[in-house]
């Protein structure tokens, strides 16, 4: 059974950092593109970042709103996806999901982890 | 990348049909047959209901169908049931460097 389990969310102040993790199981993690998507009541779902199967930095992409502040990475030996979030802003407050890409869609999603940025 | 445009809300009575539109550009919806639709219940993770414009994943009822014409894709839910009440988001591939772009979301209510 495919499972994606996010962790690392929490309450931080503006300007601080967090690292999200997504533990994958039930499939060959190293064969799939992986994504981070965030959800807020006001903006809905927004794609944050994605990374290619082998994790080369040349095949990563970021939303303009997080470029230069967030870094996506993966450890295929540990079947884990990461999102390093620096210089956090109030507007980064959201539930963050990791998701697997297959057949040109996001076919499996984690349960999400809440990030709250507030002073 | 700008969000795809969806109506904020749609509704229907049990047994009726509802259709949700999703309008993009030639750089996303119109440029690829890679439109997908996601159902999200409050507090839950999104679930893919349609992929590659009109394909249904295993386990999704055939009451859900998708189509596309030009820069606009559509999701139709036939025979509405109470459990179909949820938020629905479209998404499209937007090029190798852009990943996926999502729609603004539509809240479907079953009256």
Asked if A35's CB is within 8 angstroms of B100's CB, the reply is: yes
Residues of chain A with pLDDT under 70: 57-58
Overall average pLDDT of the B94-106 stretch: 88
Name the residue of chain B whose CA is nearest to A6's CA: B45
Question: Rounded CA gap, B57 and B79, in Å?
Answer: 19
Residue B97 pLDDT more than 80? no
Overall average pLDDT of the B7-36 stretch: 96
Residue B98 pLDDT more than 80? no
Q: Which of A35, A44, A110 sits opposite B89 (nearest CB)?
A: A44
Overall average pLDDT of the B27-44 stretch: 95
Q: Which of A34, A31, A39, A30 is nearest to A49 (CA)?
A: A34
Overall average pLDDT of the B43-52 stretch: 97
Q: Which of B40, B49, B91 is nearest to A40 (CA)?
A: B40
Asked if A50's CB is within 8 angstroms of B101's CB, the reply is: no
Asked if B45's CB is within 8 angstroms of A112's CB, the reply is: yes
Question: Rounded CA gap, B36 and B47, in Å?
Answer: 10
Asked if B104's CB is within 8 angstroms of A105's CB, the reply is: no
Question: How much is the pLDDT for A57?
Answer: 66
Q: A117 CB contacts (<8 Å, ≥6 apart)? A: A12, A13, A14, A16, A88, A89, A90, A91, A92, A93
- A13 neighbors A83 (Cβ within 8 angstroms): no
Q: Which of A61, A106, A109 sits opposite B98 (nearest CB)?
A: A61
């Amino acid at each position: 059974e495919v499972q994606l389990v996010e962790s690392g969310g929490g309450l931080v102040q503006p300007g601080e950092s967090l690292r999200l993790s997504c533990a994958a199981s039930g499939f060959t993690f190293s064969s799939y593109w992986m994504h981070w998507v965030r959800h807020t009541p006001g903006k809905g779902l927004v794609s944050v970042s994605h990374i290619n199967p082998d994790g080369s930095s040349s095949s990563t992409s970021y939303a303009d709103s997080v470029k230069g502040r967030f870094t996506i990475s993966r450890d295929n030996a540990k079947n884990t996806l990461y999102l390093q979030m620096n210089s956090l802003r109030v507007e980064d407050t959201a539930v963050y999901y990791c998701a697997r890409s297959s057949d040109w869609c996001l076919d499996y999603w984690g349960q999400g982890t809440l990030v709250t940025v507030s002073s | 990348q700008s969000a795809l445009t969806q109506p904020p809300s749609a509704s229907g009575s049990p047994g009726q049909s509802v259709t949700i539109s999703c309008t993009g550009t030639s750089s996303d919806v119109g440029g690829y047959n890679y439109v997908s639709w996601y159902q999200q219940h409050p507090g839950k993770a999104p679930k893919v209901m349609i992929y590659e414009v009109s394909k249904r994943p295993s386990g999704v009822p055939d009451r859900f169908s998708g189509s596309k014409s030009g820069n606009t894709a559509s999701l139709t839910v036939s025979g509405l049931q109470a459990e179909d009440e949820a938020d629905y988001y479209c998404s499209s591939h937007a090029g190798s460097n852009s990943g996926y772009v999502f729609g603004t979301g539509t809240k479907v209510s079953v009256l």
